[in-house]
Structure 1
Amino acid sequence: MNQSKKSWHQYWLALKYYKSPAIAIFLSTIILAITAALKIERTYTVNSIIQLESPNQEIIDALGQEEADKSNNSENIEPETSETGEISEEPAANLPKQVFEQVQATDNGLEDLDYNQFAENLEIKNDSLSDTIEITYSGKDIDSSKLVVNSLIESYREQQAQTEISNVEKIKDKVNQQLTVADKNATEIANKLKALLTKYDRNILESKPDYLTNKIKELEEKIAAAKSKIKEVDDEIAGLKTKLGLNLSPNAIAGEVSDSPEQQQLLEKLQEVETQLIIEGARFNSQSPVIINLEAEKAKLEAQIKDQNIATQQYVSVNQNNNSIAENTEKLVGYEAEKKSLSAKVASWEIDKARYQKDNAIAPEVQQQYQELVSKNKRAKEKYNKLLTKAQQLDIFSEDNIAQIKIITPPQVKKSLASWNKEIIAASGVGLGFMLAFVAVLILEKRNPTLKNIAEIGEVGNSKVLGEIPNLRKSDFHISHRCDPVDPERFVLEAPYSVACESYKIVYDNLAQISSNQVIKTITVTSSNTAEGKSTFIANLAALTTQLGKKVLIIDTNLHTPKQKAIWRIDNNLGLTDILKKDVEFDNVVQAPSLNLNVITAGSMVEDYLSLWQSESMKEFMLHVREKYDLILLDTSAVDLSTDILNISQFTDGIILVGRIGFTNPHKLLEAQELIKASNQELLGIVVNDKFKS
């Protein structure tokens, strides 16, 4: 709230400062408003917005831009054109003229107009993005203006209906043609994909990692194991043949096992079934009917071979009439059968291995072909389904929902300028003049580079704001039992119970909080520029501190423009420079204008004053006063005038910068802060001076 009031006060001051351009803008606006009021004629503006609800663009987009690009230019779907070559979806060139003749024939206020005047009063705006048409007509008669707009709406409706009927039929033909092509294309791709799946294992086509390598490795392991087993069987057969050598000829057993036509036929069938089982097992799972049937046939053949072996064993047993010979013969027959079975499996596995190795060599090419066919098949199906959907929509599309026109804004009178009388327009000019004048003042004020509020001062260098001192004048302070105004340079001393004193109490409290963490007895007070109120701030802060029972010393080190002598109405015959030159004693220079308050003025001007600030005398002097007083305030020159502060502040505990609203330049304030930081001095904070009253 305070910030708002402060800002309006600033604007009021700025308005007074820029009153000449503000008055000029204000008067110019009023003159223009009065001139406009005198020239107003009775005019009615009728406006309406309609939307052409056409399915054409949506259906054409559904055909796909890619397909449209591939199609022959002569076959692309185009909106119907008129005999003159103009696209009929756009307003025909002769449509306004037809409406003009139609309305003029009704004798409704257009008799005095020719077509050129009618065209100037008519405005038609087309928005291709939203398919809307805005119709605006301005005329002197409200009924004739409405009639023009309504007639144009009806003309658009009839024109759109004729165009849509033709366009929908053309779209139907195009969609049906493309649907036939898409169906044929999808069928061809599907057949190619099916043939590839029939020829090759799905696992190979789908690029399963290491599938063929693992299969070859698995077959190699099976072949190696089978060959090892055959070797073991051969050893057993050789041993049994040795045992039976005296009782049975070497070819007897082999003849019994292998020379039998039935046995040979069963072994060959078993080998074929096992080979087919390996091949189909790579394509189907164990629950597939094909695998189940092959397994059943294999079990049947193995049972028949076993029965043949038993019959042979019985035959050998009867003819030998020797239990030992029968037993060995039975084993020999079993080993021979096992050897033949293993040999058949090895042969089958070798065939499979060769096939897998061949497939592995051509796998990348086949896989690429398969992936391309899968991708083409997917796109072909999507395109076919999309076209089929559009074809179905077109089949049920009727003439009733073709070329519908949606009236977004019905014909209505937007504004009748005749209803604006001259008094209202002139009053509006006054209001507009005030607003333009105020905006001009704001622009001029923005061009002022000085800091205009507390927040801006605090943001420069991100420094802490210790307090805000109000903008004070002598007429602002009166004590109830006195008629004399209070001097703002010493108002804390002369009016200690005034509300304005609270601002100095806030500064004092903030300094006290800083003092709780470190000892602060000596403070240098400066500003980035002259006339920012640092001397007045020092005087009132010192007066407030003395009211708290503390002893305060003010030292005026500003040899260029000393202010403390005028504030406290004391002489400057002897001062700080005289003490440092050791011309006089401290007690002979210090002055006491108030209780608990001592002031040392700047003293006589010396040429080489910089050597005084760096002398041992200055150091001894500061140590001396530090022991005698609770608070010491040093009034220095502004930073932009001299670098005294860099020499003086080395004897103090910190520095306070004083900034003035509407006066302090942000660049100079920032330079002052950077200079203080570069000298390794502590900046306690910023005091904002001349805060506008809330």
Structure 2
Amino acid sequence: MTMESLPNFEEVNIQKYLEVIQRRWLPLVGIFSIAVTFGCLYAFSLKPSYKAEGSLMIKTNRSSSLTGLPQDIGRLEALNVNDNPLETQVRVIGSNPVIEKTINSLKLKDSQGKPLSIPVLAEQLKIEGIKGTDVVQLSYKGGDPELAAKIVNEVIDSYIDLNIKANQNEALTAKQVLVTEVPKAEEIVRRAESKLRLFKETNKIVVLEQEATAAVDTISKLGNQISQALAQLDDVKGRLEQLRSEAQVDSQQGVIASDLSQAPGVQKVLIQLQETESQLALERTRFEPEHPTITNLEEKVTALKSLLKERVGQVAGTAQITEGSLQVGQLRQSLIADITRAQAQRVGLERQIGTLLRQQDAYIKRANNLPRLEQSQRELERKLQAAQTTYETLLKKRQEIDVAQNQKIPNARVISYALIPDKAEGPRKILFIVGGGGIGLFLGIIVAFGLDLIDRSVKTVKEAKEVLRYSVLGVIPTQGRNAKDPSSIAGLDRAIPKIIGRDIPYFPVGNAYQILQVNLKFLCSDKPLKSIVITSSVAKEGKSDVSANLAVTMAQAGRRVLLVDADMRHPIQHHIWGLPNAMGLSNVIIGQASLDTVVQEVMPNLEVLTSGVLPPNPVAMLDSQRMATLISSFGRDYDLVIFDTPPLSGIADAAVLSTLTDGILLVVRPGVVDLNSANAAKEFLTQSGQKVLGIVINGVNTKNEPNNYFYDNKKRQIEQDLVSSSLTKFSKER
């Protein structure tokens, strides 16, 4: 079910677009014709032109590899990673300096004799890079073949000359910078060297890495020596304590006693003292204490003691020495000697340990300071190395630029100069014509759809049905012009409707009215319609046309019909039938004339009641009791009464009459009534509660309708189908 409806939906949309083109074919064809005309005029106005072509190969300056220079000089690079340097050179070739140099070299002039402007020549010159290669193609079109070739060749030569100058100027600019920067770099190197030298002199650095290694080895050796000295000191201290214990003397007294025992002067006096004391002791046994001998010996002992003390003082100094310690035995003297040597060894070891410790501390402090010195030295060396590298690079670049400045090799090589074209390359006129036609068709379609969007009128039968939502009782095809010229009738601003059989052929309009008659007949089969009001939303929708022809069709079907022109504002029925309008409906209503005197028979079974004199207030007359009485009398005398009334737009005539009749038949003409008027009419009929029998769509262009099943060659079969469908509908309603 879905797969079948989708193609129908698409087909309807395409058909809708085709309908728009069919409705707006005139502006579309007009714009298309104008565009094709302009295309032809422009194509045939073009003059033959000659095309000269030349080519260049863009390449990097390879002279640097021959002279030993780096390839950065003269190197072509793109601005972005994905860009091609060839595109940049294409822009350079077409730049203003190259074009200007070409104009000046060839002295190109315009039509007024003035120097040719740069934009004019640039517009005629075509420069493009061939994809996948480094080749640039140059071409120029002009009326003079020799000049075209000269322009292409001059552009090539100008580009190459400017490219060489640009490379040389680039080298010169770089050289000017380097002339200033090289001395600065050299001065920076000198300052860096001076700082490094001063740092080494201040911190007494020769080779910092070797000094650090030597310091570590020395600290290790000093540690070993200190350990050995401490061990020896412990040994000496132990022996010293043992010797002191055996000799019972301290080391100083032992040394003094040993010195005294070996001093000849002290020992000689000591011997004399000992002998005198011995003699004194002997004499005391023999003599009295006051004996002169005793006294002399005592004085001699005192004198010897004094002399001994003096000589001991000369040897021992201020040390307190007892007399017993002045004479030491050989063993004790040997012990004292050992104590003295041990004491001296201890003192020596202590001093040695102290010296080693001080040396170790000094080396440790130096070793701890080495990382900082090494860091400072590395910083100074890095600065020096960076300065030297910069200086060497700038010096090298300066030498390279001196060589590059003298080079005259461009970044392009001529593949082929332009030859003088011997054959004219005329413009392709057919392209301009076809292009004009395509543009015209495109603009025409846009204008057609634009006009259709702007147009707010009801355009098709389908739109009329969708807007009004009433049953379509008949579709009347459009008619040709009436033989009567409306301009020949004074005061008439519209064409006089045509009567089928009299003014126009029966087919196909007559068939359409036959269908309308059948639909009206079966619309109320239980109670036949006796009177209907025919009106429209706006003027010029053909309500009078439908009224007259429907009346004719009903009369031809054998029914006695009265056609009443109730449009007492702009009546036209008397013009259709060629009747006088001095007396009519208005006169009958006010009692100036009888109905029998004003009703006129125009054909068998069809009589016409014209509007008569136009009253100042038609609504009051139509809404009168006299009008109601007339309609009742019409029902007794006629099978069907058709009232031709004014449009619904701002006029209540039709609404007033519809309350006295069986209903309203609304005429809709596509292209005349707009959506607003149709919606307003629909809203008015709905709110006022009018009985609308249905709508008749008048003046339909059958070519613009997709469902044109009313008017083909099988019209009779279709009419029978419509009648059958009406009967089926009536049966369902029953």
Scaled to the shorter chain, the TM-score interval is: 0.3 to 0.5
Rg comparison, structure with higher value: 2
**TM-score using structure 2 length:** 0.41
